[in-house]
Amino acid sequence: MDSASLKYAKQMDSKDVLHKYREEFYLLPQIYMDGNSLGLLSKRAEKTLLDSLQDWKELGIEGWTKGRQPWYYFSEKLGSLLAPLVGASAEEVMVTGSTTVNLHQLAATFYQPSGKKTKILADELTFPSDLYALQSQLSLKGFNPETHLVCVKSRDGRFLNEEDIIEAMTDDIALIVLPTILYRSGQILDMKRLTEEAHRRGILIGFDGCHSVGAIPHSFSDWDVDFAYWCNYKHLNGGPGSVGGLFVNKKHFGKKAGLAGWFGSRKDKQFDMEHTLTQAPDAGAYQIGTPHVLSIAPILGSLEMFNEAGIEAIRQKSLQLTQYLMELIDIELSDYHFYIGSPREDAQRGGHISLEHKEAARICKSLKEFGIVPDFRAPNIIRLAPVALYSTFEEVWKVVQILKDIMKEKHYEKFPNEREVVA
């Protein structure tokens, strides 16, 4: 059957073992292709949020210990549900903070310059917030970020070459922080290999999992990764501003948190109100302040669904969707000067496709007018993210057909080629 036909797309949907989960989400009138920026609301996430609101309404302060899901232990509960998705034990994972706050905590904990090992290694394609945090941590330790933050260069502006990363693991590097998946191109880094190479050189290494957690399987514990951190509002559909997550390898348990706060206390000691912190014995030690209950409550419903569906099945469908999207782009858009800036190989591609075009900002605005929600990244990237739990092959087919019509009719020319305030 012709893969470019609507009939083929519908046939693929008929075989989809995850199709039933589409009914679990509040779908928009538009075709949503921006789940790698903000996932849609599920009915289960709505329910667990409303449960916490009801506990507040009915129990007041007693909700901390007597609610449907007691708030005092909420972060630990969610950590245990997240653990299978990142390949870790329950005690190694905690839902707390935000991406950047958690990076500050982990860098403050694990960046301990000594002797000639004083520099931090990152990369020039990482999300800017990570670089801001690392620059700040270097300054706090008295080092100049311009000389002590080493950023691996990309050879083509899209991908990182792992040989270049390894070559940059020199004797003066104290800490490495890299993305699991590059937020622009969707390239997956070989976390296992990079961790082994870092440890062979006596360097600690951590990963930003914002674009991978909920989209691909991980084995943080088996890979011996030192730490990781991520947001829960993209692929995990935790809601806007949803509380983040962190992983600390159990071999580091007992290491003093760089940024101390009372929610890093051992639970049975926290309300002793002593002025000396009795640190939690596990990843809970790296919490800082009181959990934002109404921002973590939706994650509970979402994680229950993820563990029910299984990350391997989610990954398999995600690969099928992005592979199909690339095939259709090759077939239907070859005359319109698009370039696929994402890896073609399954093992190296995350959950979105980076489609490059010099008129990308205008094309994104045109897509929105035709009922497609894409994502723009300056200067020339249209990110399209079909999500395994609620996107369909038919939707992918329609997106490419609409793109073809937009280009054929030059509909995009009615818009300025510049990003909106929020891209």
What domains appear along the chain, each with residue ranges and CATH number?
6-32+310-414 (3.90.1150.10), 48-308 (3.40.640.10)
The answer to whether the beta carbons of residues 278 and 254 sit under 8 Å apart is no
d(CA 23, CA 106): 38
d(CA 366, CA 379): 17
d(CA 300, CA 238): 8
pLDDT at 332: 97
d(CA 380, CA 248): 36
d(CA 171, CA 189): 22
- Count the alpha carbons within 13 Å of 251 in the hemisphere toward its beta carbon: 10
- One-letter amino acid of 383: R
pLDDT at 420: 80
Pairing, β 227-230 against β 372-373:
unpaired
3-state secondary structure 223-238: HCCCEEEECCCCCCCC
Among 120, 126, 211, 204, smallest CA distance to 160 is for 126
The answer to whether the beta carbons of residues 83 and 224 sit under 8 Å apart is no
pLDDT at 316: 98
The answer to whether the beta carbons of residues 248 and 240 sit under 8 Å apart is no
Annotated binding site: 99-100, 127-130, 208, 211, 233, 262, 290
Full-model pTM: 0.96
d(CA 78, CA 421): 33
**How far is C-alpha 93 from the geometric centre of its chain's CA atoms?**
15
Annotated binding site for pyridoxal 5'-phosphate: 99-100, 127-130, 208, 211, 233, 262, 290
pLDDT at 276: 96
> How many residues are listed for the chain in this entry?
423
Among 207, 212, 213, 210, smallest CA distance to 225 is for 207
The whole-number mean pLDDT for each consecutive block of 10 residues of the chain, a chain of 423 residues, reads: 91 97 98 98 98 98 97 97 98 98 98 98 98 98 98 98 98 98 98 98 98 98 98 98 98 98 96 96 97 97 97 98 98 97 98 98 97 96 98 98 98 88 70
